[in-house]
Structure 1
Amino acid sequence: MLRQITLITIAFISILSISAQTKNIHLNSLGFLPDLKKTASVSMPCEAFNILNTDGEVVYTGKATGPTYQKDVNQKVWNLDFSKFNTQGEYILEIEGVGKSKPFHIASDAFNFAAKTSIRGFYLWRCGTEVKGTFKGNNYHQNICHLEDGYEDYIGNKEVKRDGTKGWHDAGDYGKYTVNAGITVGVLFKAWDHFKPQIEKLDLEIPRSSSKLPAFLEEIKWETDWVLKMQYPDGSGRVSHKLTRLNFSPFIMPDKDHEKRYFTQWSSAATADFVAMMAMAARYFQPYDPIYAKQCLDAAWLSYNFLRNNLDDKGFVQGDFKTGGYQTSDTDDRLWAAAEMWETTGDIIALKDFEKRAKELNFKIEENWDWGNVSNLGMFTYVLSNRKGKNTKVQKSIKKNTIEIGDKLVEMANSDVYARALGGTYFWGCNGTVARQTINLQVANRLKPNKDYIEASIGIVDHLFGNNYYSRSYVTGLGENPPLHPHDRRSGADSIKAPWPGYLIGGGHSATDWVDKEESYSHNEIAINWQAALVYALAGFIN
């Protein structure tokens, strides 16, 4: 018995030792692409490292560089660069004085499964229908929900119900919000525009209602179908800010949420985002479904003409509502709307509208942006457009600023010990912003091809999947030691231990305060705007 206890004790100590070693080796647990940058970070003193194959043979040897001390993580970190090793296969890092990493792959399709899973996350977010999916042996299922969407009490028609079904649940709650739909749909359309051939390689396994549409666009259409219904029924062109109940639901499955839900009053930001989404929808659906594309464009014109005639910034006031506010000024939203209307139609008034607004913003490109500032979407549409008629000075200024911000992000990524292009800035949902910075980098690369932009984008993907302070993936179900307790009502209410898969969580408010706790919505929530950024980041590396 004593010998058995001793053996168990030794085994337990060994497990703890391996765990401690692995925790000090920080790398992208999805793996690496053969011909691009491959790095790992080590938070213990080290000098040399080996790459071992599955037979334990040394296939590559390298030297660590560093250390670099970084204040926000309060660590000295050494860097391992094995970019020159490009043979596909499964490997382990063996680091002198530290230990061994867990196995990782070098493969041309290293990110494909993660890309597919992150896209399918939107299907699993659908409102107003049954959804189901199998992932790693678990069967996830949601019954039909929220068929009573929604009531018009807050737009002047008490007890009148109108069809507001479809769309995606916004985040960890079951509300649907026009402003957050805006940046989400905008980023997903950008992914399609920039990486269509790559995305089409994936079998997304999304239930098809139409053979006319590619699966990726069909999923976006589930959201734009709902967005169309947010336009006021009075023909004015105004758009409701959101469709929710008055308070957040408890942690119940969506089909158990029977509280009354309402169309809220309009806001000018929501109306402008509606215009941008509908103009993009008209453009991207046109080759497959011209009738639907015309419906979207007609709706866009109605709301855009309303905005032209009503220039005041009409903010949203929460009033009785305690659900997500998404209050924001409309300057950036109007700029984006004008850009998309021009790109879709060639309308000269929309072109002049955009160029005037871009000048007023001094052609600024944001490095840190989300739903509250969507001007980048308009700037990028304009600067990449092949339409004639652009003002040369405006084009040059936006191009210059886009490249300068791209260079700045490269510099920040290269100076951060964990390749985080946002540097030491942290806030609610910052992981979504980190992922979204790949749009800046990819657009800069389209304007002025530079491998540094692509490698900084790879560094962002590395960071999100394990090259970070925690040596953990930030995406449920994917990578090493992913989040287990996201702030997500489905994950908290169903009977499955593992959370619904493929979702990027928000992240810490500092470099070291992230907690994997369901109740910590400010650290561990999931949201469609962050998810779209993850989809874009991964789409650029589908093979």
Structure 2
Amino acid sequence: PSEAIHINLVGYSTDKTIKSADLYIWMGDGGARDYSSFQNKNVYLYNVLTNDTASVGKVSFWMKKTGTDVGYYDLTGSDVWNADFSEYSTPGTYRLAIEDVGCSQDFVIADSVYHDPFMVALRGFFYMRIGQNSTGGIRPVPRRPLYIPGVSPSNTKVYLTTMHQWHEKWSSFSSGDVWDNPDAWAVFRKTGNPTNPNAKGGHSDALDWDRHLGHVCIIYDMLLPFFLTAGALTDDNCGIAESGNGIPDILDEAKNEVDFWLNLRDGQGYASGLTNPSDDNEFFQAAPTAMAAWANAANAAMLADCFRIGNHQSLKQQYLDSARAAWVYASGLTDQMLDKTLGLGDIIIQGRDLKMMAAAFLYNLTGETAFEDVVKQLSVVNSSTSELDKSNNGSGFYQVWGTAAYLLTSQPIHYTELHTNMKASIISQAKTKEANFSAKRPSRRATDEITWYFRTAQNVHRCMIAHAVTNLDSDKSLFRKALTLEADYGLGRNLLNMIQMTTASTPLEKKRSVLNAYTSGGDDGTPGMHPGHTPYMNLDDWYCDMTMGCPSRLYANAYPADFKKNWPADEGYFNTRYVWAHNEFTPQQTMRGKMALYGYLYGIDKKNFHLR
């Protein structure tokens, strides 16, 4: 196979959408290969099982090198040519061959081609669980220790404190990452040193053990594709602890995180997180806040609505009751923190955004117009081009999830102008903030611009929602194309021809994938790291007092030493487990958007297949 042919290593949908490969190669000191003389060369699909060959098109020029791409990094370092085979939809296992160039690795064209990426991403979240035993002999085993208070380790304790993210001393009581410094929290223990014996579960962020309120966005992105596809993601056999219990695994995985936050109670209040453990296995629980209560209301309401869609009535009622309780508590506080902000991965959300989101899902569940009134009152939408999100130097807002909830409500719509403007705004921004980038970037990626160092993140939420709500075939085709191209890139259509996540112990492990990353699974008795984890592949230095925080040490003594300045960024994957600034990942940054994307594409393929 030729390294110059870049394809989705998993494969392509039989549905009528784009199927395309890229042609370019970086030759190190030789720079980028010029393929201009290969324009109009023939492109073939070779069926590896039947030995049949089909002529499917010709090589075409795509784009000159721009020097910038996602995150303003140069990902390709080259002019790019394309080999399109969108008209070919016959299921099978293939190689793409380009005249006088060579062929690709094997891939499939299939009805449910996104099943395995969806399943692997879902397992990635499962392997971030804390407190999960190896139920049913699951291998690899989940993370250890379990950190269950009083159980494992037996001296594990979780102390209640008066400190939280909006406390007046938040920025001064500790150095560095405050969640990493549990000893600094000890002086804020509540009188009598009370503990929370129920503080267990949830998902860690990378190799840390802290679980703070900024992580709740993983709930929304696990549930979003289930909600948008009207419950198409019914799979109950993805290899997590609850598989086979009759509940879709994606709902079980989100439920684990929702339950964790409901466990963090302090009296009637809702806590804002747990620190990392001390050397004595002591955790400290942040104090209750209105922000945490609104988050719990949104968490439980969205999960309840998905249980409603999936026809799990008792669970729907359980989480509807939890959402109401959190709503009532937050509504009764003097300071409801509606104007306070919270960082969720790479976005900023306000208390009012969480309240609006909770209200939208509660309206879906109950039909009570008081909740719809709150959606109207708090929505930022007042025209057909209103911005639904903004992030700038620690300030901003984010109403994408809440807007999706109201757009797809099955209840009567009493604010028709708001609903119409919401629909127009999400479609407008799906184009300007995501889909249109596919036509401007050499990589053809559509992810939004808010990636920071995390160029492997894949956030195309607006395109997913717009695709779900638009009535125009041309728009639906545009958004599907953008979603597919973004998914293709992370699944192999990149410079290194690599699936940009760990895949060991899964059906994708035979594909070229990330082997080592700063993640779990290296000492669990099963070969490979835990699956489903997407490293940053960051090349910028963060903390050079130690090599682990200093990616430049990886190439300073390699060839060439000025790699970062002169070579494309996507050449920069170093196969190491130990440099967190390069190869760490976080569910809230590099995993949640990918989970939503693969889930949505898998869900709409399932729906389309059943319609056909």
Q: Which residue of 2 aligns with 1:71?
A: 67
Gaps of 5+ in 1: 1-17, 248-256, 319-323
3-state SS, counterpart of residue 501 of structure 2: coil
In structure 2, relative to structure 1, the CA distance for the partners of 1:519 and 1:290 (3 Å cut) is same
Moved more, 364-373 or 345-354: 364-373
TM-score relative to the length of structure 2: 0.72
Q: C-alpha separation between the residues in 1 aligned to 2:450 and 2:130?
A: 34
In structure 2, relative to structure 1, the CA distance for the partners of 1:304 and 1:125 (3 Å cut) is same
Quote the offset at 1:425 in angstroms. Answer: 6.0
Q: Which residue of 2 aligns with 1:420?
A: 445
Moved more, 453-462 or 474-483: 474-483
Q: Is the 8 A contact 1:151 1:161 kept in 2?
A: yes
Residues 1:34 and 2:51 are matched in the alignment: no
Q: Is the 8 A contact 2:487 2:598 kept in 1?
A: yes
Q: Is the 8 A contact 1:241 1:265 kept in 2?
A: yes
Residues 1:307 and 2:308 are matched in the alignment: no
In structure 2, relative to structure 1, the CA distance for the partners of 1:178 and 1:446 (3 Å cut) is farther
3-state SS, counterpart of residue 41 of structure 1: strand
Q: C-alpha separation between the residues in 1 aligned to 2:283 and 2:396?
A: 24
2:496 equivalent among 460, 464, 470: 470
Quote the offset at 1:519 in angstroms. Answer: 4.0
Quote the offset at 1:154 in angstroms. Answer: 1.1
In structure 2, relative to structure 1, the CA distance for the partners of 1:498 and 1:243 (3 Å cut) is same
Q: Is the 8 A contact 2:535 2:585 kept in 1?
A: yes
Q: C-alpha separation between the residues in 2 aligned to 1:56 and 1:476?
A: 31
2:86 equivalent among 80, 83, 86: 83
Q: Which residue of 2 aligns with 1:515?
A: 573
Quote the offset at 1:457 in angstroms. Answer: 1.2
Residues 1:453 and 2:447 are matched in the alignment: no
3-state SS, counterpart of residue 200 of structure 2: coil
Letter in 2 for 1:64: V
Quote the offset at 1:158 in angstroms. Answer: 4.7
Q: Which residue of 2 aligns with 1:7?
A: none
Q: Which residue of 2 aligns with 1:535?
A: 595
Runs of 4 or more, structure 1, over 6 Å off, are: 132-135, 324-327, 367-372, 446-449
Higher helix share: 1
Quote the offset at 1:290 in angstroms. Answer: 4.8
Quote the offset at 1:75 in angstroms. Answer: 1.4
Matches within 5 A, 1:276-425: 276-285=298-307, 290=313, 292-308=315-331, 309=333, 310-312=335-337, 329-359=350-380, 363-366=386-389, 374-408=398-432, 409-422=434-447
Residues 1:102 and 2:98 are matched in the alignment: no
Q: C-alpha separation between the residues in 2 aligned to 1:373 and 1:509?
A: 29
In structure 2, relative to structure 1, the CA distance for the partners of 1:360 and 1:38 (3 Å cut) is closer
Q: Is the 8 A contact 2:464 2:479 kept in 1?
A: no
Gaps of 5+ in 2: 25-32, 69-73, 150-155, 163-189, 541-567, 607-612
Letter in 1 for 2:529: P
3-state SS, counterpart of residue 190 of structure 1: helix
Q: C-alpha separation between the residues in 1 aligned to 2:472 and 2:534?
A: 29
Aligned length: 502
Q: Is the 8 A contact 1:441 1:457 kept in 2?
A: no
Q: C-alpha separation between the residues in 2 aligned to 1:261 and 1:487?
A: 23
In structure 2, relative to structure 1, the CA distance for the partners of 1:109 and 1:393 (3 Å cut) is closer
Q: C-alpha separation between the residues in 2 aligned to 1:410 and 1:392?
A: 27
Q: Is the 8 A contact 2:148 2:200 kept in 1?
A: yes
Q: C-alpha separation between the residues in 2 aligned to 1:522 and 1:414?
A: 31
Q: C-alpha separation between the residues in 2 aligned to 1:401 and 1:58?
A: 45
Matches within 5 A, 1:151-230: 151-155=158-162, 156-162=190-196, 163-181=198-216, 183-195=217-229, 198-201=232-235, 203-208=237-242, 211=245, 213-230=247-264
In structure 2, relative to structure 1, the CA distance for the partners of 1:520 and 1:389 (3 Å cut) is same
In structure 2, relative to structure 1, the CA distance for the partners of 1:291 and 1:199 (3 Å cut) is closer
3-state SS, counterpart of residue 432 of structure 1: coil
In structure 2, relative to structure 1, the CA distance for the partners of 1:151 and 1:280 (3 Å cut) is same
Matches within 5 A, 1:138-153: 139-143=140-144, 145-148=146-149, 151-153=158-160
Q: C-alpha separation between the residues in 2 aligned to 1:151 and 1:426?
A: 34
Quote the offset at 1:147 in angstroms. Answer: 0.8
* Coordinate RMSD, CA, aligned: 3.6
Quote the offset at 1:211 in angstroms. Answer: 4.3
1:222-259, Cα deviation, whole Å (9 max, x unpaired): 22221211233x22xx3211112267xxxxxxxxx862
TM-score relative to the length of structure 1: 0.81
3-state SS, counterpart of residue 419 of structure 1: coil
Q: C-alpha separation between the residues in 1 aligned to 2:207 and 2:472?
A: 37
Residues 1:111 and 2:114 are matched in the alignment: yes
Moved more, 36-45 or 419-428: 419-428
Residues 1:245 and 2:276 are matched in the alignment: yes
Q: Is the 8 A contact 2:413 2:419 kept in 1?
A: no
Q: Is the 8 A contact 2:270 2:288 kept in 1?
A: yes
Q: Which residue of 2 aligns with 1:3?
A: none
Q: C-alpha separation between the residues in 1 aligned to 2:592 and 2:499?
A: 17
1:184-214, Cα deviation, whole Å (9 max, x unpaired): 1122222222335542256223333994634
Moved more, 79-88 or 145-154: 145-154
Residues 1:505 and 2:535 are matched in the alignment: yes
Quote the offset at 1:304 in angstroms. Answer: 2.0
In structure 2, relative to structure 1, the CA distance for the partners of 1:325 and 1:25 (3 Å cut) is closer
Q: Is the 8 A contact 1:402 1:444 kept in 2?
A: no
